[in-house]
Every structure is written in C-alpha cells, then in structure tokens.
A and B are shown apart, each in its own frame.
Chain A
C-alpha cells in the first residue's frame, strides 16, 4: 500500500479547466463520444475541449480508431438487422463445433455479418461493400459452421470469401441474416427482401402498407392484381426472387437429427448447406417474377445488391440510420434537411462512413436532441471503460440451473448484452425478435439491474485501485480508497469523479461536490471510507447524466 504522501507526490498534473467552463461544449463532447463509441470521454479530453472547443473534431477523428467505435457499428447494425436474437437460427455444439459453448456459438453466428460491416466501415471502404462484397468474416466457430478458411495464427475475426459459390451480396448472402428472416412455402423470401429494404433503403413496406386482407386464399392473385397490394409487391416480389437459392431455414434440431442419422446426403451436417445453387431459379416454379429492381432485371442476389447500392435511397438511408442511432431517434424522425447534409458528406467521400459519422456527431442537432436512454451495450461498455468491470455470470455453475448441458454448456454470459440469461431487455434494449423497439425511458427493472451492475462495478474499482499504484489506477488519483482522508483530498477526489463519471468539470468547492461529500461522509461515518467510495461511485454510475445523457 502506498502512502497518501507518495500518492499525492505521484499524482499527474491535471489539465486545468478554464476559469469558466462552457458546459455546452463539454456536454456535446460527451454526447459525441457516447454516440460513436458508447463510452464517455476521459477527463483530459473534456478539459482539452473546454479549453479549446476547436479540439472537438480532432478528438472525434481520433475516436474512429478506438475499438469501441467498431463495437458501436456492430451494435447499430444488430439493431437495424434484428440480429443477436436469443433463439433463432442457432446451432448445436456438434460435429466440428463439439466442445464449444452454446453461448459462444450463438454469439459468433450472428456476429459474422456485423463484423463484416464493421470491417468495411472502420477501414474506410465504400459502405456499398456491405451489400456487394463476396467476402464474409470468420472466427474459428463460423469457419467450422460454414466451411470457411481461417488462419489460426491470425486475428480472431478474419475476412475470407464464401466457399460454396453463393452470390457476392455481402450481408444479404450471409447465413445469419437469412436464418433470422426465415422463409416459408408461401413467403417466397419476401421477409428477407422486406427486412433488407427496410434496413438499407429505409423503405418499410410493412408499416407503409398494412393492407387489410380479407381473402388470403387469393393472396397470390391479389399481389399481382389488387392496387393496394401491387404498390408494395411490385417492388418486393422481384427483389424476393433474387434470394432464391438461400435455404428457407435450418433449425438446430435439423442439425442434431442429421448427425444422429449419420449425415446422409442432403442432411444438415456441418458445414451448413445453406446455399443451394440448384434452387436459385426456384422462382420460376412458382410463377413469381424474375429477380429485378425498379422494373429492371438483375442478375440474382448479387445483381440486386448492386442495384440497391446504386439506388439513390441507399446513401440517404445510410445517412439517416447513422444519425438516428447517434441521436437516439427513430429512423423516420431524422429531419430531411439533416439527411441531405449528411448524405452529401458521405457521397463527397466516396462512401466512407467514417466521414459521415464525424459530420453526424459534430452536427449541432446532436447537442440539442432530447436526452436518450443509454443502450444496454453502451452502458456495459461505459462502465467497463471507467471501472474495468465486466458484468458476467455463469449459468452453468448455478445450482438452480434447469438446462443441463445436453448438447453443450452455455458458457460465461455477458449480462448486459444477453436476453437468454442476462438483462438486455430489462435494461430497455431490444431482443431482435419480439422486442424491436427500444424503451425510450427508464423502467423499474432498469433501475434494479443498474443498481446491481453499479454496486459490483464500484466494489471492483475500489478494490483494484486500492491494490494498484497510481499510474495503473482507474478512478482514484487523490486518495487511498480504504483510508480516512482529510477534507481537501476527498473533495479533490470527488471533483475528479464528477469529471470522470459525470462529465462535470467543477472545482473542489462546487456545490455539487459538496452535496456528494454529504453522501460520502454519511456512509463513511457508518461503514468506513472504502464503502463510502463504493457508494459514491455506484451512485454516480446510476446518475441521469450517465444513463440519460
């Protein structure tokens, strides 16, 4: 344990805030950081912007290299594409996946298309590649599941081409996307086409049309003849025809049964036979229109993907979606004027989304948008960045477990990001299946889960900072958390926590610091300094400036 004197001697010289801090620029910096990374700026970053607001753009550009930016891109697209569901399109731990945790398998399968999108975005390649590339991303699990190349000595996720001859159509050709949007004998891939159109062209046919069907026995006639139906099906059906060749769906039970029967021909053993080239013309057998877009024929799914990427609405939709994510709005609620401004930026930079993101988070609209509920993924990332704490649990180790490891154990769960075992939806998030609209406000379960998370995070950071020397400490720079301190260092530490956690650049004698000192002293008197610091950190992590920035 280092002494307080040594601690004070080693404390870094902070960047002093200006005499009068511009709260607006500080808040904008916090919002920009949360929007593009899901983490808060450091104290030094806030102070540098407070001292010179023109530094914000440089900060934002620097954040593009933060791995949290790629994570945020994946979070955003998981939301828009309805991926990361708990129970759709998963695989058992069988065949080449034997021994893998079920949770890891489920995570990897849905993560592959998201990794592809993040790779396109973070490397500055044209965003259209998310629809047109012939590649996917593979980790050891998806490589085994889909029969893809993977270099064991390379990074976990590696860009690699599909090996089964499927069309070059980016995420449209991805197995996880097509498993999520199952097809049926009468759906004819329309759900897939509709979901992709909603995401990439911002054309939500279901919300726009909602025709009142009275006689679905004649539905297939109606979609060709009824003006109410034609409005959408003229666009939808040719696009849906392009998806022929993708399997309607393969259930986990299908895979298990296939292995139990010895993997005969046409069985669903791994690698998963999801692309079937001989079915690519299947639309002909059902009197469906040929693949096409805007009344022009396209060459299968790859042709559709190129046509969509060339469609003027693609760039506008991209701009709309990113800004909607950054501001916490619904996609349809982003003002057209802003969409036009951001679209121009995207096009001026040949589809490099990084420039779009910079323009979006620097836009004045971000600063004036209403407070939004921090998404569960952002909350987990924020708290981990501040405290080093990962909120995890092991369902296989609990005595109340009622899912014995029949075909594999689940593995360690990220509690903020899981629906099957965690609290994502109880924290206001979506589940990609039933819950497609995030909560716009906090709920009682949000409060309870947040308290659990922050209590453990506070205990963690107080514990590790007590054991660590100054350069390695996360939050405690001015006191020993487990020792009683005099008023001055306590107030200095509290002011630092106000800056680091709440984004408030305040002096030691600021009234808000005094109010927090009241909290600290009240707990310290009963339980001692370590518990008091835990209470302060936990309270701050639950503060509205954290959860409703």
Chain B
C-alpha cells in the first residue's frame, strides 16, 4: 500500500468526497447484476417449452375446466415462451415490456446434479474450489481505484482472492448494523457496555487507524512468505475500504431484517450500483426451486421472479444505468421431465439462462436449444444457433463470454475455454 494513496483516499472519505468520486468512476466499466435461482428451476415452465407428450412440465397442473388455466406457447418480441395467464401472468407482462431486451439461452449444459457442484460451475465457470464467482471477478476488475467490487446479497457468493473488495450483506442484512449503530441488537440487561456505544471521535479513529497501518507496513516488509504478505495487504486494503464504506452514507438504503424476497433486495442493489459503491451484485431469487415435492409451487415462483425482473429492468432504465449494466439470471440446474410420487421433480443437468440488456440493444432472441427430451442440442459457438455440426453449450463457455463482455480477460480465469460471445453481442 502506497501511503500517499492511502492518505489521499482516507482524506477524500473524511471530507465526504467519496460518493461523487465513486459515482464518476463507476460510469466507466460495465456493471453486472447476477440473479441466482438456487435449487434448480423447471425451465420447461417458461423458457424452454416442450411438447406435453414429452414432459409433465406445467401441463399436469392445468385445470381442464378453466380456459384461462392453460399453458400454451406464446411469442412476444421474438421470444417464444410458455404462457399461462392465470398462474404466471407476470411472465407475460415481463415479455410484453422487455422481450426486446432479453436473450434466452437454452440447452446450457451444467453437467452436475448436485447443488453445490452445480452452483460452483454456473456461478464461477469452473469446477475448481476456491475460485471467485463471476460478479466478484467483474467487480474486482473495476475496484482498483478504491471502490468496492461486489456486494453479495446471496450466500452463494465466492470471493476467491478478492476478499478485500467484496462484501456480504448477511442473512438479515447485518451489513447495515455494521454501518448504523442505531439498529444494532440491544445487549442483555446486565451488560457492562451499553449499546449502541457512542462511536469514538474522528480523531481517535484516525489515530487508531494510523497505528494499525504503521504496524501493517512494518509487518509487510518482514513477511516470511508471499501468502502472508498478500494477507497483510488484504488487511490493509480492507481497513481502507471499510472506512470508505462507512463514509459513503449508504446505511439507510440497505435492507435490514429477514430478507425473504428478491423484491426487498432490488431497491438496495440498484442504490448501491447507482451510488458507485460497487460494480456488481449477486442476488438470490429467494425462492425454493428445489422442488422434490410440491412442484406446482414453481408457478408462483416464476411469477414472482419475472415480476422482479421487470422491477429491476425498469429500475436500471429509470436510474440511467441501462447502457452500462448487464443482467444475467442463472440456475445451477433444471428439473427432470416427469413428476415423482411426491408431485415433485428431481435434478436435471441442462438448464436455461437469461441475459437482459436493459438498453435494448440486444434481445428478442433465443440461443441454443434442447430436443423434445430436454437433452442439449449442438450449437454454432459463434452464433449460438443450433446446428447439427456444432457442440453443446457449456456453463464455462457462457461464463467466459460474460467475462469478456465485462472487460475481464476470460483466458486469465478460464484458460482454454472458448467464450460464448453471441449472448452478449
């Protein structure tokens, strides 16, 4: 850590100049929003319609006596999807408003039927443990100027070597309590220390920070090995970024309490991106997609998910972030074509993904595909179109394409993987 840079950044924070600095810096590189549908969605409900002879899909839930409760393929803005206006009206509304901004990717082969293995693959583009996920990589690449890289609203985030510029929100939005002492849990009645404890004066905090940094600098010069040296550097950076986070004045925009819906997280995610606090966010759909039983619940889950995608897309447009933000919706797997005895489904290793360009420059298209039995079809890696002579689309190819799109060299993280650029061009 260069002391001059440290002093400059700390000084900017203390003078309240951080927020505009962050906002200006964030206008450059691309922002990324990833929404993870934990558990494995049934993509045949909406995104990858199949004949009812081949899959149970949503069809077996229809009420034959209700003409409005029928699933049928409907095409809006160039995207064919399975429409059911009684059970999933928000899906139709979303495509009515935003189909021209949406690229649907079908036949995305994850190749795993275990959740954690699948999550690692779909979010990081690799099977290797310890590797950072895509939002972290994109965020970190733009955070050298002192900003945070990514904010993880989802517990599935993996920061790899970027702990110093990546933060978690916490299951109940605990980050807010770190920044706002007034919302901290009270102590036990007999506690020695009252809470909230009045924070130390700025000069005391600065004196402590200076003492910590001085000792870190001395230790870094004596570090016995590169790993220790790197961890000391991370500590130094983290102290600076923590101070900056405190100075940014974002606490009131952070969610607090039981974060049980994506709808509750979207406003905070938009605010963090807009304020330049981070360059990427990882959100969770907050829906129980792993429906080994009670599969019909996925109707409501898709309805809420698409309603939230509409809110997010509109929010990005309204805040002027449409042109430099990409939204990707991923699930680590899909569901087997037939219901089990508990009216549920099992895991399926080929899934779908959504890419949203809020500016509407790319969309209204479906890339990749599956056959009637939900097996992936070969595609032309350059166009994304299904061709007999192609190869199936791997999760790593989509990840590499996304990294390239966000100005991160995919070869550095996913060497030898051919990026799927078509989804982002």
**Residues in A lying within 8 Å of B, measured CB to CB:** 86, 184-186, 191, 206-207, 210-217, 219, 330, 368, 370-373, 389, 392-395, 397-398, 400-403, 412-413, 415, 419-423, 425-426, 428, 431, 433-437, 439-449, 451-452, 455-456, 459-460, 463-464, 512, 515-516, 518-519, 522-523, 526-527, 531, 534-535, 538-539, 542-545, 547-548
Contacts and interface: CB of A to CB of B under 8 A. Distances in A.
Contacts of B215: 512, 515, 543-545
B206 to A, nearest CB: 9
Contact of B186 (A398, A425, A542): A398
Interface in B330-346: 336-337, 340-342, 344, 346
B417 interface: no
B127 interface: yes
Contact of A397 (B111, B186, B193): B186
A393 B112 contact: no
A535 B245 contact: no
A423 B163 CA distance: 15
Interface stretch (B75-83, B88-96, B166-174, B351-359): B166-174
A123 B244 CA distance: 49
Given A447-B239, A535-B204, A544-B232, A210 B127 contact: yes
A519 B211 contact: yes
B170 to A, nearest CB: 6
B155 A433 contact: yes
B257 A402 contact: yes
Contact of B163 (A210, A443, A547): A443
A531 B200 contact: yes
Contacts of B214: 515
Q: Which of A212, A421, A512, A526 has the most CB of B within 10 A?
A: A212
Contacts of B376: 214
B197 A459 contact: yes
A456 B186 contact: no
A452 B178 contact: yes
A215 B375 CA distance: 7
A287 B252 CA distance: 57
A436 B181 CA distance: 29
A512 B214 CA distance: 10
A515 B235 contact: no
Contacts of B232: 371, 544, 548
B234 A392 contact: no
B250 interface: no
A423 B170 contact: yes
Interface stretch (B18-26, B60-68, B113-121, B317-325): B113-121
A212 B111 contact: yes
B328 interface: no
Nearest to A207: B129
B197 A455 contact: yes
Given A447-B242, A523-B207, A544-B219, A420 B172 contact: yes
Interface in B158-196: 158-159, 161, 163-168, 170-172, 174-175, 178-179, 181, 183-188, 191-193, 195
A271 B342 CA distance: 25
Given A400-B257, A441-B231, A394 B208 contact: no
A214 B109 contact: yes
A256 to B, nearest CB: 16
A441 B204 contact: no
Interface string B100-135: 000000000101111011000000000101100000
Contacts of A445: 167-168, 175, 178, 242
Interface string B199-221: 11101100110111011100100
Contacts of B113: 213, 216, 219
Nearest to A534: B200
6 contacts: A207-B127, A371-B223, A419-B170, A422-B174, A519-B207, A534-B200
B348 A519 contact: no
A281 to B, nearest CB: 19
Contacts of B348: 216
B365 interface: no
Contact of B168 (A426, A433, A534): A426
A440 B231 contact: yes
Contact of B336 (A217, A422, A436): A217
Interface string B42-57: 0000000000000000
Given A398-B186, A441-B238, 10 more contacts: A214-B376, A368-B225, A371-B231, A397-B186, A426-B174, A426-B175, A440-B161, A443-B159, A444-B242, A518-B211
Given A401-B257, A426-B170, A456-B195, A431 B200 contact: no
Contacts of A440: 161, 163, 231
A207 B129 CA distance: 8
Contact of A186 (B129, B188, B227, B346): B346
A535 B130 CA distance: 36
B235 A441 contact: yes
Contact of A523 (B199, B204, B241, B245): B204
B184 A216 contact: no
A425 B168 contact: yes
A402 B340 contact: no
A547 B245 contact: no
Given A370-B228, A394-B185, A413-B185, A86 B257 contact: no
B239 to A, nearest CB: 5
A443 B167 contact: yes
Contact of A535 (B184, B200, B246, B337): B200
A216 B227 contact: no
B317 to A, nearest CB: 30
B178 A214 contact: no
A215 B336 CA distance: 10
A370 B227 contact: yes
Contacts of A516: 211
A185 B114 contact: no
Contact of B179 (A373, A393, A420, A448): A448
B341 A185 contact: yes
B208 A212 contact: no
Given A186-B346, A210-B112, A441 B183 contact: no
Contacts of A459: 192-193, 197
Contact of B193 (A191, A207, A441, A460): A460
B245 A539 contact: no
| Shortest beta-carbon contacts, A-B, top 5 | A393-B185, A434-B155, A441-B234, A370-B227, A447-B242
Contacts of B168: 425-426, 445
A421 B159 contact: no
